Amino acid sequence: MCRGSEVYDVVAEEEEVWLERGLRSGKGGSRKSGSELHSKGKHWKTDGISNVSYKSEDRLITFSLETLGPVTLIQDAHVNMPYQSWELRPLDVNKVLLTVTTVLTEIQIQIKENLCMLASIKLNDKKHSSILEEKWMTPVSFIIALKEAGLNIFPTGHSHFYVVINYKVREHLPKEEPIQKPNWTLLMFSGDRAQSLKINESSDAFSEALKEETEFHSTLYHMVKDFASKEAMKKVRCSSCQFVDSVCHMLLSTRLLSYS
C-alpha cells in the first residue's frame, strides 16, 4: 500500500528488480515505454510514472511510481522491420550463418543440423552481449527465446499493416551500365507452390503454364534448384534433411524476401 504522498523508485537491471524510497532524478530514454496496471479498469496506463532514466551502457532502467503495483515494458513488435539487408553465408557442410541487419540491430544466427544459436548481436554498430549467445536450441524454441528477449524479426500475418515496404520493380547491379534488353524470368508463388512461368514480359496474355525444363517447388527458396550451378546443387544434396529443414524454417519465419 502507498500512504500519503510516498513515491516508490523502481530499479530494473537484467532480470532483477528492486524498490528504493524517495525521488530519483535522471535523464535519458528508452525505446520501450512503461505502463502500470490499473487496478479497477484492468488496463495498462502511463499515469503516475515519472523520472524515467535509462543507462544503455549499464542496461539499467530507473523510474518513480506514485502507486505501487504491477509494471510492464511495452515494445513495438515491428521496430526491427523492414530489414535493411540480409545474408546467408555457408560456413561448412550443414552449417550456415544468417545475418539480418535492421535500422537498430544486426543479428547473426548460426544454424547447424536441427539447431540454431545467436552468434552475435550489435546495437547501433556496437557489440552487445546477450544471455542467448552460445546456446543451441531448436528453431521453434529459438524463435520464442528471441521474441521474449525483444529481438523480434518474425513477421505475422498482420505485419503488412504496420510495416512500410518500398515498392520494388527491379534493380540493376551495374547501374552505370544498364542492361539494354534484359531477359527477365517471371516467377509465380501462390502460397502452395512456386514456379517459373513460360510467358515473358512481352506476352499478350497471362498464362500459368510452366516454363520448359523447370519444376514446381514448394517455396521460392527451393526454386534456386532450377538455375543453381552444379557445385551449389552438390552441396545441397550433401546436406542433411534436418539442416535443410532448419534453414528453411528460419527463412520462412523471418520472411526476408517480403520484408527487406
| DSSP secondary structure of 167-227 | ------S-TTS--SS--PPPEEE-SS-EEEBS--TT-SS---PBPTT---BSSTGGGGGGT
pLDDT for 29 equals: 36
Q: Which three cell numbers stand for residue 105?
A: 540491430
Q: Which residue has the higher pLDDT, 6 or 118?
A: 118
Counting beta carbons within 10 angstroms of the beta carbon of residue 143, is it exposed (0 to 12), middle (13 to 18) or buried (19 or more)?
Answer: buried
Which contacts of 118-121 are long-range, i.e. CB under 8 A and separated by 24 or more positions?
118/142, 118/146, 118/151, 121/151
On the question of a cis peptide bond just before residue 178, with omega within 30 degrees of 0, the verdict is no
The pairing of strands 44-45 and 49-55 is unpaired
Q: Which residue has the higher pLDDT, 7 or 231?
A: 231
Q: Give pLDDT tens digits for 28-37.
A: 333 455 565 5
Q: Give pLDDT tens digits for 96-113.
A: 999 999 988 999 999 999
pTM for this model (two decimals): 0.65
Q: What average pLDDT score do residues 200-210 get?
A: 85
Q: Is the pLDDT of residue 185 over 70?
A: yes
